Amino acid sequence: MFESARTGSRAALARLLSLVERGGSSARDVGRLTFPLGGGAYTVGLTGAPGAGKSTLTTRIVAARRAAGDEIAVLAVDPTSPFTGGAILGDRVRMQDHALDSGVYIRSMATRGHLGGLALATPEAVRVLDAVGFRWVVIETVGVGQVEVEVAGAADTTVVVVNPGWGDAVQAAKAGLLEIADVFVVNKADRPGAEDARRDLEHMLDLASLPDDGWRPPTVATVASTDEGTEQVVAAIDAHRTWLCSDGRLENKRAQRVRDELLAIVGERVVEQVRALRDGAEFARMCSAVEARELDPWTAADELLARVPRS
Amino acid sequence: MFESARTGSRAALARLLSLVERGGSSARDVGRLTFPLGGGAYTVGLTGAPGAGKSTLTTRIVAARRAAGDEIAVLAVDPTSPFTGGAILGDRVRMQDHALDSGVYIRSMATRGHLGGLALATPEAVRVLDAVGFRWVVIETVGVGQVEVEVAGAADTTVVVVNPGWGDAVQAAKAGLLEIADVFVVNKADRPGAEDARRDLEHMLDLASLPDDGWRPPTVATVASTDEGTEQVVAAIDAHRTWLCSDGRLENKRAQRVRDELLAIVGERVVEQVRALRDGAEFARMCSAVEARELDPWTAADELLARVPRS
């Protein structure tokens, strides 16, 4: 399946990604297989409130990258995204621009329910796309939940999309989007208040007192629906990429990501183990002993921990 | 220290409870010591929104129990409680009613910060009070956070306090207070809307479709500031206690609590272990190997898990 995916079979690629979505041991097998082959992909996270125009902007970025000759994949982990079927027909039709282009691969991710969920499945899905040869992967998430914000923030370059309108920048700050942004986009900039939104963002950046050698996220105004500003967004992403690729910054960022991911995997495995423990006979025995006051809960917990399987 | 506490030293009792609050291995030692000696205390959880009058009601319940000759302890895990120093002088002075009564012990709990926190420290503190001889323990929590609601709900009888006013019952439902209530109190019932609040609660209970052999929480109107309705609250608690003590219901409820607590302790220990792992040399080595693509993250996680210490 993996060999087919590498030689261009979209059906095989889709099946691999489904395994990753599903989680568990087959996801791990896919992970073990694809891991040594990746490392060449550059990831762009794109996030913002529902309705901010993230998918339209993603379409524009995809088109710009394709025009430059790059192959590009999109992972839409945004339940409000038209890519995932959550939006109106007009948006869906627009995405069909790329439907016949074999240099573009668009995939929605739905991992709700399984342990670890998005946080574990997304980097794994990126590695699959990386291993089959995509040099660019865009990860679109809706910037409302902590996991979604983290997933977008774990990209090499993260684009945060806001709209004009009182308080939108403040809402973004509250959702933790300011901390992860490498590029700000004020989309729907043809509406009133675009300049105010930009000024709010700049003001918040001033307050954030970035380090001297830090990256100050530029703010780009766009009207994604008419393709206005796309060039500037792509240029801002490229500028951040150039900055990140110097002085070992990209390596440091990716090393931090490895640490976070390893801890997340270990955490998920441990939770799995504790769940298995809870359903086992030993747990029931320990509970009875505590109820009968033959054993205190701390000693019972020690004995249970000693029985947690190691793999 | 424990022997002093058992023979009536309040200073020794306070020191034991401080160890419990602090968590970690000395809390566990206290737990191991006190566990075999308890089992006789009956616990009453009392929760509701800030300002609902929980502490005043607690004072009234304490006075009623004392009048009946019972020794009673209060654990205030409510940061907005006057017992914990969070409220106005008037309330504090009122609590001094019991200050010179050796049959009453009032203790605020502050566990913010340590792992497991309230969820683990509160049952342990109850066991200490149980072991030194208190037959009644009131646990007062502010019903806003999930942990606080769970802590109050883990008592033998849980009293949920609401006030008259549009939507207070609905807010209680949203906070998950309906599920844990064995007795509802509409406090400040001299204010407009008391009857509406009572009707809202009854309506929500109708919708909840309790099982035929279930307990339908009675709703009691009180004005705690003038001691109105205290008798009915105490009677409602006693009625629930009588119901609970028949047909093995109390044993079942406490058995479920043992299961929950054991899982919470195991979970906390595992989190501690994973944190220790993260700070260890092996974790750093694994991260480097993954960064160098010599090892995939799933295999690295397996190897780390195999190194989690067993105790």
Give per-residue pLDDT as tens, B148-170.
888 888 899 999 999 998 577 77
Which residue, among A253, A305, A307, A311, would best test binding to B if mutated, counting the most B CBs under 10 Å from its CB? A305
Q: What is the pLDDT of residue B165?
A: 81
Alpha carbon A147 to its chain centroid, in Å, reads 8
Chain A touched by B110 (CB under 8 Å): no
Dihedrals phi, psi of A47, to nearest 5 degrees: -145, 165
Asked if A116 and A24 count as a contact pair (C-beta separation under 8 A), the reply is no
Cα within 13 Å of Cα(A161), Cβ side:
29
Contact A258 B287 (CB under 8 A): yes
| B56-85 average pLDDT score | 83
CB of A245 less than 8 A from some CB of B: no
Q: Do B266 and A277 touch (CB under 8 A)?
A: yes
**Cβ neighbours of residue A102 closer than 8 Å, sequence gap 6 or more:** A8, A10
Q: What does the pLDDT read at residue A270? A: 78
**How many residues are recorded in chain A?**
311
Q: How far is B262 from chain A (nearest CA, A)?
A: 6
Residue A99 amino acid letter: A
**Chain A: nearest CA to B292, how far in angstroms?**
10
Which residue do the tokens 């209970």 mark? B205
pLDDT by residue for chain A (311 residues), tens only, comes to: 888 988 888 889 999 998 988 887 888 889 888 888 888 899 999 999 888 999 899 999 999 999 999 999 999 886 655 555 443 333 444 455 565 667 888 888 876 555 567 788 899 999 999 999 999 999 998 877 777 888 888 899 999 999 998 577 777 777 788 889 999 999 999 999 999 999 988 888 888 777 777 899 999 999 999 999 999 999 999 999 999 999 999 999 999 999 988 888 888 887 777 778 888 888 999 999 998 888 998 889 888 888 766 55
pTM summary value? 0.66
**What CATH fold (topology level) applies to the domain A2-246?**
Rossmann fold (3.40.50)
Other CB atoms within 10 Å distance of the CB of residue B303: 15
In chain B, whose CA is at the least distance from the CA of A300?
B262
Print the SS3 string covering chain A: CHHHHHCCCHHHHHHHHHHHHHCHHHHHHHHHHHHHHCCCCEEEEEEECCCCCHHHHHHHHHHHHHHCCCCEEEEECCCCCHHHCCCCHHHHHHHHHHCCCCCEEEEECCCCCCCCHHHHHHHHHHHHHHHCCCCEEEEEEECCCHHHHHHHHCCCEEEEEECCCCCHHHHHHHCCHHHHCCEEEECCCCCCCHHHHHHHHHHHHHHHCCCCCCCCCCEEECEHHHCECHHHHHHHHHHHHHHHCCCCHHHHHHHHHHHHHHHHHHHHHHHHHHHHHHCCHHHHHHHHHHHCCCCCHHHHHHHHHCCCCCC
Count how many residues are written for chain B: 311
* Mean confidence (pLDDT) of chain B: 84
What's the pLDDT score for residue B82? 59
Query: Which residues lie across from B44 on neighbouring strands?
Result: B138, B157
Per the CB < 8 Å rule, is A304 touching B262? Answer: yes
Look at residue A56 in the predicted model and tell me its pLDDT: 92
**Is B267 within 8 Å of A255 when comparing Cβ atoms?**
no
B127 band by pLDDT with thresholds 50, 70 and 90: very high
Q: A266 and B277: CB-CB below 8 Å?
A: yes
For residue B94, what pLDDT is reported?
47
Cα B52 → chain centroid: 17
Calpha distance A179→A162 (Å, rounded): 14
Query: Contact A266/B304, CB-based, under 8 Å?
Result: yes
Provide the pLDDT for residue A164: 92
CATH number for region B40-108+119-127+134-247: 3.40.50.300
Other beta carbons within 10 Å of B106: 22
- Comparing alpha-carbon positions, the chain A residue that sits nearest to B26 is A298
pLDDT at B111 over 70: no
Interchain contact A32–B (C-beta under 8 A): yes
pLDDT at A102: 74
CB count within 10 Å of CB B114 equals: 15
Q: Is A99 on the interface with B (CB under 8 A)?
A: no
CB-nearest to A301 from B38, B254, B265 is B265
Rounded to whole angstroms, the Cα distance separating A166 from A197 reads 7
Residues ≥6 apart with Cβ < 8 Å to A71? A103, A104, A105, A133, A134, A135, A136
| Residue whose token pair is 């009644």 | B136
A275 is written with which tokens? 């769940």
- Which chain A residue has its CA at the smallest distance from B285's CA? A259
Helix (H) or strand (E) holding B47: strand B42-48
Q: Which one, of A224, A208, A241, A269, lies nearest residue A64 by Cα?
A: A224
- Give phi and psi for B104, each to the nearest 5: -125, 135
- Mean pLDDT computed over B186-209: 88
Q: Tell me what pLDDT residue B91 has.
A: 43
CA distance A102 to A80: 25
B184 within 8 A of B220, measured Cβ to Cβ: yes
Q: Which helix (DSSP H) or strand (DSSP E) does residue B75 occupy? A: strand B72-76
pLDDT of residue B116: 61
The SS3 of residue B190 is coil
| Cβ–Cβ contact A115 with B under 8 A | no
Task: Judge contact between B42 and B147, C-beta under 8 A.
Answer: no
| Percent with pLDDT over 70 in chain B | 89
Examine the pLDDT at B95 and tell me if it is beyond 80: no
The domain ranges of chain A are 2-246
* Contact status, residue B159 vs residue B220, Cβ threshold 8 Å: no
* Chain A CA closest to residue B298: A28
How far apart, in whole angstroms, are the C-alpha atoms of residue A102 and residue A86? 24
C-alpha span between B122 and B137 (Å, rounded): 11
Alpha carbon of A21: minimum distance to chain B alpha carbons (Å): 15
Chain A nearest-CA distance from B183, in A, is: 26
A270 touches chain B (CB under 8 A): yes
Contact B259 A304 (CB under 8 A): no
For residue range B233-289, list pLDDT tens digits in order. Answer: 999 999 999 999 999 999 999 999 999 888 888 888 877 777 788 888 889 999 999
Helix (H, G, I), strand (E, B), or coil: what is residue B137?
strand
Mutate to test the interface with B, among A258, A285, A299 (most CBs of B within 10 A): A258
**Does B283 reach chain A within 8 Å, measured CB to CB?**
yes
Question: What amino acid is encoded at A217 in this protein?
Answer: P
Residue B136 has pLDDT above 50, yes or no: yes
Picking from B20, B10, B40, the residue whose alpha carbon sits closest to that of residue A297 is B20
- Nearest by CB to residue A259, choosing from B267, B270, B287, is B287
**CB-based contact (8 Å) between A276 and chain B?**
no
Taking CB atoms and an 8 Å limit, are B32 and A298 in contact across chains?
A: yes
Could you tell me which of A244, A184, A227, A241 has the C-alpha nearest to residue A64? A227
Q: Which chain A positions have a beta carbon within 8 Å of B270's beta carbon?
A: 270, 273-274, 305, 308
Residue B51 CB coordination number (10 Å) = 11
Please report the pLDDT score of residue B99 as a whole number. Answer: 58
Nearest-angstrom CA–CA distance, A125 and A5: 13
Q: Sign of the CA dihedral B4, B10, B11, B17?
A: positive
CB atoms A262 and B39 under 8 Å: no
Element (H, E) at B146: helix B146-153
Closest-CA residue of B relative to A258 is B287
CB contact under 8 A, A267 and B255: no
Q: Mutate one of A120, A127, A266 to test the B interface: name it (highest B CB count within 10 A).
A: A266
* Sheet with B219-221: strands ordered across: B104-108, B72-76, B136-142, B42-48, B157-162, B183-186, B219-221
For residue B273, the one-letter residue type is: Q
Q: How many CB atoms lie within 10 A of CB A167?
A: 11
Rounded CA-CA distance B31/B20 in Å is 8
Of B28, B267, B305, which has the smallest distance from its Cβ to A274's Cβ?
B267
Can you read off the two tokens belonging to residue A310? 């190691």
- B281 or B23: which leads in pLDDT: B281
